[in-house]
Structure 1
Amino acid sequence: MRLRLDLSYDGAGFRGWATQPSLRTVQETVESAIGTVLRLEERPSLTCAGRTDAGVHARGQVAHVDLDDTVQPDQLARRLRRILPDDVVVHAVTAAPDGFDARFAAVERRYAYRLQDQPGRLDPLARAHVVAWPKPLDVEAMNAAGVLLTGEHDFAAFCRRREGATTIRTLLELTTTRSPGDGLLVTTVRADAFCHSMVRALMGALVAVGEGRYEPSWARDVLRTGERDPRVKVMPAHGLVLEEVVYPSDDRLAARAHEARRRRDEPTEGP
């Protein structure tokens, strides 16, 4: 039986999602908890929608695990909440519909990146999830740059390359708003999928434009090079939160998972 897990975590105490030897990770923590409460001889294997980097948080992470069909999902959720540490919460465990794959069936991931560029208005209670920035940022310029980066492109200039992996992604949204109350900047980043460090590198480009160091068109120029640019700072991890993962209707899950496994070697449109 395939089960879907909806969970959240504070990434500060984890070395990212994926299991790493001798390091505390979200995957290892949750897998070990499942193995403990079900008294399994071997630790089960979780597959998640988005493998967050070290220090990145998640409010809407989704994962799946394949277990014996005698497991009762609601009971498993309750027992996990009793033994998991305070920085990770399993909100729900449900029987997954046919064709569900937490990673490949997803059609969209939505992240939010939070910045405070007015030091006097920084909430000290939010310092673990908001990046304090020393210079004022121009939201209009950041959004102008964001528009130039949306669409299906090769984002190699904003990704940490992995051998054999494609860097072609479809960026659906890259917009920044300023809260009228506390002046907090929140950048919404939506895409069909992301490659390693992509969101934080995109934020580095937006911040460079927002500071006035470059025109918005510079971000598009960096994209077109296909190479990492030392002027693009990879922003701190603690400002980033995986907010939501979107899936199609149940009757489209299998088709979407099949489509997502297709390797993209060239974008359908140039940058």
Structure 2
Amino acid sequence: MSEQHRPDVPPAPGDPASVRVRLDLAYDGGAFHGWARQPGLDSVQGALEDGLERILRRPVRTVVAGRTDAGVHARGQVVHLDLTETEWAGLTRGRPGLEPATSLTRRLGGVLSGCVGFLFFFFLDVYKRQHWHGAALDDRLMALEADAVLGLHDFLSFCRPREGATTIREVQHLEVRRDEDGVVGIRIRADAFCHNMVRAIVGALLQVGEGAREPGWLAHRVARPARDSEVRLAPPGGLTLLAVGYPDEAEELRRRAEGTRAKRTL
């Protein structure tokens, strides 16, 4: 956890908050109905914001790097919130030598449940969570199939579109590899993901790997984007958000954020 002098997303003009705090979280998603707060349902956002409200004694709004689906885990989720300088300084409770970030970390650790925690507190083994697939998989075929997804494409075939949002994304890395224990691991990195995109791509790779779809099927889906029921979503329990990266320069960060949010064209 750290005070962000160069915020990950610049505050809006006129925003009275002058301290932006970044939280790096890990959580077991199995106990939650996803990241986003929902009435009557347990969510990671709800647990975190309720904990922050108990500490700061006011409602707190957090902004997340990317919302995870119900059941999906995280090892390197990034969240930020804005505080006034008075609130930031008051976290130390006047104790000499105590840093506000250290104090907030300790106090959050005390109010959050065991299902959500800071990256350096617990759930460091969350990346070990796996999905046990019921059919044999041809990992070499899956690795070849993954090449079709790389690059800038309209991923409508692998997304649940949202009104006003784009389904055009750039997949920068997609790796399929079987380790020495026989476990097939899939790693995917993109400039941004749309809703259900990771689960759909992984699910499609599983379909090809188990022989339910012919080789070349992903390339066909990418070339002819369409929203239908042919793609099967991968189970959430085997998926983990590993990390979120940001450019070093503030201007590049702003440009990247605007680009991923825009209604892009190919």
Question: Is TM-score (shorter-chain normalized) higher than 0.5?
Answer: yes
* SS in structure 2 at match of 1:245: coil
> Residue type matched to 1:155 in 2?
F
Partner of 2:177: 177
How do 1:156-195 residues align onto structure 2 when only pairs under 5 Å count? 156-180=156-180, 182-195=181-194
- Tell me how far 1:131 sits from its aligned partner: 1.2
* 1:213 alignment partner in structure 2: 212
Deviations 1:55-96 (A, max 9, x none): 10000000110111231222111100111001111247xxxx
Cα distance, 1:229 vs structure 2: 4.2
Question: Is residue 172–residue 191 contact of structure 1 (8 Å, CA) maintained in 2?
Answer: yes
Report SS of the residue matched to 2:177.
strand
Q: 3-state DSSP class of the match of 1:61?
A: strand
Q: Does structure 1 conserve the Cα–Cα contact (< 8 Å) formed by 2:166 and 2:262?
A: no
| Partner of residue 56, structure 1 | 72
Deviations 1:161-219 (A, max 9, x none): 21221101001122111111x21111001111111111111111111111123333111
Distance in 2 of aligned mates of 1:211 and 1:262: 37
Distance 2:187 2:207 in 1: 17
> Which structure 1 residue ranges, 5 or more long, are not aligned?
93-113, 115-125
Residues 68-107 of structure 1 mapped to structure 2, 5 A cutoff: 68-70=84-86, 71=88, 72-91=100-119
**Structure 1 residues 235 and 91: alpha-carbon distance in aligned structure 2, compared to 1, 3 A threshold:** closer
Show CA shifts across 1:5-52 (max 9, x none).
101100011110011111111111101111101122xx1111111100
The answer (yes or no) to whether the contact 2:192–2:260 under 8 Å persists in 1 is: no
Give, in angstroms, the shift of residue 141 of structure 1.
Answer: 0.6
Distance 1:91 1:38 in 2: 22
Residue matched to 1:97:
none
Q: What SS does structure 2 have at the residue aligned with 1:7?
A: strand
Per the normalisation by structure 1, the TM-score is 0.80
Contact 2:76 2:119 in 1 (8 A): no
Which has more strand, going by share of residues?
A: 1
The 3-state SS of whatever aligns with 2:135 is: coil
Deviations 1:133-155 (A, max 9, x none): 12111111101110011111000
The residue aligned with 1:46 is 62
Counterpart check, 1:4 vs 2:22: yes
Aligned CA distance change for structure 1 residues 91 and 75 (closer, same or farther; 3 Å): farther
| Equivalent residue, structure 2, for 1:110 | none
| Residue 238 (str. 1) matches residue 237 (str. 2) | yes
Preserved contact between residue 222 and residue 229 of structure 1 (Cα < 8 Å): no
Aligned residue for 2:199, secondary structure, equals helix
Using a 3 Å threshold, how does the CA distance of structure 1 residues 13 and 153 change in structure 2: closer, same or farther?
Answer: same
Normalising by structure 2, we get a TM-score of: 0.81
Question: What secondary structure, in the 3-state scheme, does the structure 1 residue paired with 2:34 have?
Answer: coil
Q: C-alpha root-mean-square deviation of aligned residues, in Å? A: 1.8
Q: Within the alignment, does 1:200 sit opposite 2:199 as a pair? A: yes
Segments of structure 2 that go 5 or more residues without pairing to the other structure are 1-18, 89-99, 121-126
- Residues paired across the two proteins, number: 230
The share of aligned pairs that are identical, in percent, is: 45
- What's the counterpart of residue 224 of structure 1? 223
What secondary structure is seen at the aligned counterpart in 2 of 1:174? strand
The 10-residue stretch of structure 1 (230-239 or 51-60) with the greater mean CA deviation from structure 2: 230-239
> In structure 2, what is the equivalent of residue 108 of structure 1?
none
